[in-house]
Structures are given as structure tokens and as C-alpha cells.
Structure 1
Amino acid sequence: MASTTSHSPPNLTFAVVLLPDYQWLDSAGPVDYLNNHSQARLTATNSDPKLIAKAPILTWYYVASTLDPVTASSGPTQTPTHTFETCPPVDYVLQPGTLLNPPLPPDFIKFVKERYADPSVTFLTVCTGSLTLAPTGILDHHRVASNKGALKFLAQSGQLNRKVHWVGDRRWVKDGKVWSAAGITSGIDLAAEFARVYFDKDVVEKAKETAEEVPRPDQPDPYAWMLEGIDLGDGHEHRHRH
């Protein structure tokens, strides 16, 4: 589990959930962006040893129902490192988006509920990943961002889970044990905010330079207009503030 002192950098472990047809960039974007901050990556790119010493140690597990390769929305198949049953203890669970209303394997539901019940574990969701998690109940009463097109469709078709407080005008939201990103590329902005909060500022700046990325804040959200006039469950229609 997480290990850090005033004299040591964070040592963090992540479980990346792989469900069939998951959105590749939902996973690859935040994973690659966060990993650019790691001691291993900074060492591989011949960074300043003083900077490397301040960088986090990051460990990534890729989990699924079996160890068979999982097909994503594009790109190569991803081979899991562990099953939901064999995944070691982690600090964070990253849930990429999937197609809407996918069948949820019982071992996935068990994994999600057990990890969420652990007070030391936090969830990161990207795009429709929050909609995938919603049926498990762990997002109930949380403020959560998700893919706006999917939220609109589900709200208009009467399928939206109303126990979750869906947020339609932010690129990312942090509420308790849940960090959630809206559309696909918002996952990189979420990762950047995570890094800003938890990692050394010099390491964070180096990662920005490496990626040539200017992270977007949670607001203003340039795509908030997509949900204008849509009731997301609190009884009030979303109104985009220009």
C-alpha cells in the first residue's frame, strides 16, 4: 500500500480494470501521463538524479476476469497481469470507460465493492467508466463526472442512475474516494491534477514539459453546452454558463 514519509517520495500501486471494448485512451492517457512522473521513467530518460530522487515509485497492475488478452476500442490487445481474484492490494483503482450498459461479471462487482470498502483505496474513473461503476452502488450520493453524450442519452431515455449526483459542467470532479473525468481526453487532465496534488512540483513540471501538455482545469468546461437543458437527476435542468 502507499508508503511515504517526509524524506521519501510516494510509493503508489494502481489496478487498471480491463473490461471488453474499454476505451483505449481512457486507460493509456492517464496511465502514460502519470507514469512519466515515475522514478523508472525519469531514470530511463536520463533525468537529473536529484529529480529522480523526488519522483514517485509507481506500480501498475492490469486486472480482468481471466488472464486472456482483452480487446480495447482500438490498438493492440492488453494482457492482464492479474485476475480480479488475484490482484494484490492497491492504493488506486483506475476504471476506463466501456460501451454503455455492459454485462458486469460477478467477480468484477465483487472486486469493486471490496476495494471500495477498503478506506485506503481511491477510485479514478474516466469517461463512461463512472457509468460502468454506477450499478455497483459505490458511486451513490457522490458528485461524479462522465461522458456528456452518454449522460444525455441515458437521461433522455430514462436509464440514468439517479442515485449518483452527475456533474455536467466540469472536466473532472473529486469527491471523497472518487476522482472522475468527463470525456475521453479529460482523463489526462484528471491525471495532471492528481499529479499536482500528490507529486513533487519539480517532477510535475518536468512531466508537463515531456508531454508538452497544458492541463485544463475542471472549469470552464468547453463541452458543458452538450448537457444544456438536460435533467441529470437533481430535479433541475443543467444550464450552461457562458
Structure 2
Amino acid sequence: MAPVRFGIPLYEYQALDVIGPLDVIAGTSVSLLKHYEEGGFIRKGFHENGLELEFYHIIETTHKSKPKNLELENLDVVATVTTADCPQIDYLLFGGPLPTYKLSDEMNAFIKDRVAKNEIKTIFTTCTGAAVLAQTGLLDGKRATINPGLLDLVPQMYPAVKWADKSEKVNWVIDGNIWTANGACTGMDMFAHWLIQQCGEELAKFQFGTLGYAPRGIDGKLLDL
């Protein structure tokens, strides 16, 4: 099985915007499921629907040796790769920083280059991460959502994006290969939806159970699993 590679640009996002969605899917790792099988916790062969997951936390070339402090939680995070040595990736995830955050020219160019090479299957954003992606121009003409507190402001900041109206009452928006969630926890729900598509309901339900987590649908109602 080919690895499923997630790239996460590293900047001052809210920790849960990234850690929450990644934890939703991390427990479906084939190696972890095999470990459970060997311990007798799950049936043999359960790992066959799992994923070979790889996570790459990406930073600018001049900053790799410096931990990035996520100021809201006072948490230091160290990048695993730079824009120069990041391998081919399948997915991008943008966590949400302060609305005033400006993407660096180097990271902006890296993102657009990887998309132009057609290697990115899906781009995910959580909370204000949609405003980061909007800075690349990749959201122009696309439907998207963002933290509800910014829905009145972002049309002025990024008028080329088709921002969801508050009246739509959707927790995430899918437009082609771009998925945008309006918060950290709704980002987890969005990833739960993706996980069900990738691994099937049985494995996804097992993973949700290990987290004590009950995912909701796009309308905010609990899923019937």
C-alpha cells in the first residue's frame, strides 16, 4: 500500500486546528492496527482497511532549526521538513492562525508549486486556515467557509472567494478538492467524514470509539453510526 502523505505548513495556528483532525485519522495507521491485532485487542486482518499515514510539518528553509511557538497554548512545535526537502505529498492541511497572519512568500510559492504539479489530491483548512489558503489565490472562485466570527469580514479581504453565507448553517464546505471547515472541532468532523470515505464505516467507527468521539455531520447533527 502506498503511503498517504499529509503536509502541514507550520505557523502560529491554534493547536487543535491541526492536532484534532490528525488524531481523528491517526489511529487508523496500519502499523498501529497490526500492534492491536498482535495484542489480541482486535480481530486479525482488521488492519487491511487501514492507512499508511505519514505527516510532514513544513517550514521555511531558514527556520527549520527553530521551534515554532503556538502562542495560544505556549506549545513549541518543531518542523520535520522544509519547503526545500519536503517529499511529494498527497494532502495539505492549513490550521487557523490570527486573522492578521500573512503567509511568507516562500511558503506561498511552495504551496502553489505543489498544486501546479497536480500532486495534491485534497486541500483541507480549519477555522481561519481558509484565510491563509485564500492568500495563495487557490480559493478564488471557490466556495469556502471560515470561522463564523469572520464571515462578515472576509468578503472584503478576499472578494474573489465565494464565502458561505451565515444563513447556510453548514459546518464545512466541499468545492472540488478543497474542503474548508469553520472551526477546530468541525474540522475534526470534516476529517471524520473523509475517513469514512477512505476506510469504511467499520474501521472509522472503531477509531472514533478509541477517542471517545462522536462525529457530527455537515449540519452539526450527530452521525448515526
The question of 1:64 aligning with 2:64 is answered no
**Contact 1:131–1:146 (8 Å) recurs in 2:** yes
**Contact 1:24–1:75 (8 Å) recurs in 2:** no
List gaps (5 residues or longer) in structure 1.
4-10, 222-242
Tell me the SS of whatever aligns to 2:163: strand
Paired with 1:172 and 1:106, the residues of 2 have a C-alpha distance of: 28
Letter paired with 2:185: T
**TM-score with structure 1 setting the length:** 0.80
How far residue 44 of structure 1 moved from its aligned partner, in angstroms, is 4.3
Question: Following superposition, which runs of at least 4 residues in structure 1 exceed 4 angstroms of deviation?
Answer: none
Q: 1:174 to 1:118 in 2, by over 3 A?
A: farther
Paired with 1:147 and 1:56, the residues of 2 have a C-alpha distance of: 30
**TM-score with structure 2 setting the length:** 0.86
Tell me the SS of whatever aligns to 1:152: coil
After TM superposition, the structure 1 = structure 2 runs for residues 1-242 of structure 1, keeping only pairs within 5 Å, are 3=2, 11-19=3-11, 21-45=12-36, 46=39, 47-65=42-60, 66-67=63-64, 68-72=66-70, 73-121=72-120, 122-155=122-155, 159-167=156-164, 168=166, 169-220=169-220
How far residue 70 of structure 1 moved from its aligned partner, in angstroms, is 0.8
Paired with 1:39 and 1:143, the residues of 2 have a C-alpha distance of: 34
Letter paired with 2:13: Y
Tell me the SS of whatever aligns to 2:6: strand
**Contact 2:102–2:132 (8 Å) recurs in 1:** no
Tell me the SS of whatever aligns to 2:218: coil
Paired with 1:138 and 1:109, the residues of 2 have a C-alpha distance of: 10
Q: 1:43 to 1:74 in 2, by over 3 A?
A: farther
**Contact 1:85–1:107 (8 Å) recurs in 2:** no
**Contact 1:63–1:84 (8 Å) recurs in 2:** yes
Letter paired with 2:90: D
Paired with 2:32 and 2:185, the residues of 1 have a C-alpha distance of: 22
Tell me how many residue pairs correspond in the alignment: 209
Tell me the SS of whatever aligns to 2:158: coil
**Contact 1:51–1:202 (8 Å) recurs in 2:** no
Q: 1:33 to 1:117 in 2, by over 3 A?
A: same
